[in-house]
Amino acid sequence: MKTVLATTAAAALALAGAVGACPEHDSDGHLEARQAKATGALAGYFDYDVYPKAQAENVTKYIAAAKAYARDDVYPYYARDCNFYSANTKLDSAGNHDGLAPATEVFKDFYFVGLSSWTAWAYDTGDGLIIYDTLASAAEAENIILPGLAKFGFTGKDIKYVFISHEHFDHYGGAKYLQDNFDPIIVASKDTWAAMEKLPATADPAPPVRNAKAITVTKDGSEITLGNVTTTMYLTPGHTNGTMSYILPVTDSQTGEKMLAGMYGGSGASSTAWSLGVQATQLVRWADLSRKKGVKAFVSNHHSRDHSLYHIEEYAHRVCDPKGRHCNFAHPWVHTPDWYYRWAMMGSYCIRAQAARGGFILSQ
């Protein structure tokens, strides 16, 4: 068993959290919200959420702060993450489930191989593939990830590493299938491994096994290089104990522009005052860190966060001249370092607003 050096305070945080799905896909009881009960002719409709313990003054304050960071350009992300989702958790979840999407080369050699509810990414490094998250089941890995890879000439045998962002099944669910059939190196944080190893033997989906090849990440800023791609890993607890985020280099296929992409491992609100406080603080740290690094491309492990399914159709119609100097529109996953910084800061205040809706007083 390989271990990336040294423990950190972040990895040791005793945050609450079960190994379920991300909250946006498992909204019953989320932040103690209760649903209005429709009856009669409206019984089949999704109800809006009511928060009986909400601190209205604090919600207002944090929503205003989030919107100030969002401005006009980040507003679509703010509108969903801060407002629509919080008021309509079941409707939002239903709208994001069970939709197929075409496997797409989003950047040079960097592929979307997910679906509407959760995302997997594949990176051709020149020396094999890295898979970032594995969808929710063996069936999804076999019937979505592998055909997506095949579209671009790859097979499961090309997978060398599988990175797991955190210990929710919609991120590790296909990892054991990939491990059993293709033997890649599985990479996860210390706390993600610990949570997966606590699952019962009957867990479905079964988690991957921390075998002799597996890597346990315990040091913030650890790097793994395969071929021409170096992935830098950061421990960003809050969404779960073990949430891990990445910064990696990408290249615009049409213009040749090289840049850094940020993939935050878990943006959905957690469920306790302690973990929400840690999460809000980690998003501020991520905002500062990503701005310092110059991150400008935004990718996520959920379409609901980075709007990948909106972007895929637009990107299919992006046309650039042969030298890549002029395009009919900008790359939809690419922004500016300031934009990305403000997105993360907005996210921090959205988490604080959601905590206030649940009546929590945050210590951080």
pLDDT recorded at residue 19: 58
Tokens 């960003």 belong to: 236
CB under 8 Å to 77, separation ≥6 — which residues? Answer: 70, 305, 307, 343, 346
Examine the pLDDT at 23 and tell me if it is beyond 70: no
pLDDT recorded at residue 35: 52
Please report the domains of the chain, with CATH numbers, ordered by start residue.
2-18+54-312+334-357 (3.60.15.10)
pLDDT: which is higher, 326 or 26: 326
pLDDT recorded at residue 41: 81
Cis bond upstream, residue 205 (ω within 30): yes
Average pLDDT for residues 203-218, to the nearest whole number?
98
Average pLDDT for residues 219-248, to the nearest whole number?
98
pLDDT recorded at residue 347: 98
Half-sphere exposure of 191 (CA within 13 A, CB side): 28
Examine the pLDDT at 39 and tell me if it is beyond 70: no
pTM: 0.91
* Tens digits of residue pLDDT in 257-302: 999 999 999 989 999 999 999 999 999 999 999 999 999 999 999 9
pLDDT recorded at residue 17: 42
Examine the pLDDT at 38 and tell me if it is beyond 90: no
Average pLDDT for residues 160-181, to the nearest whole number?
98
Backbone angles phi, psi at 326, to 5 degrees: -135, 125
Task: Give which of 263, 226, 243, 223 is closest to 106, Cα–Cα.
Answer: 263
Q: How far apart are CA 289 and CA 208, in angstroms?
A: 30
Residue 174 C-alpha from the chain's centroid: 16
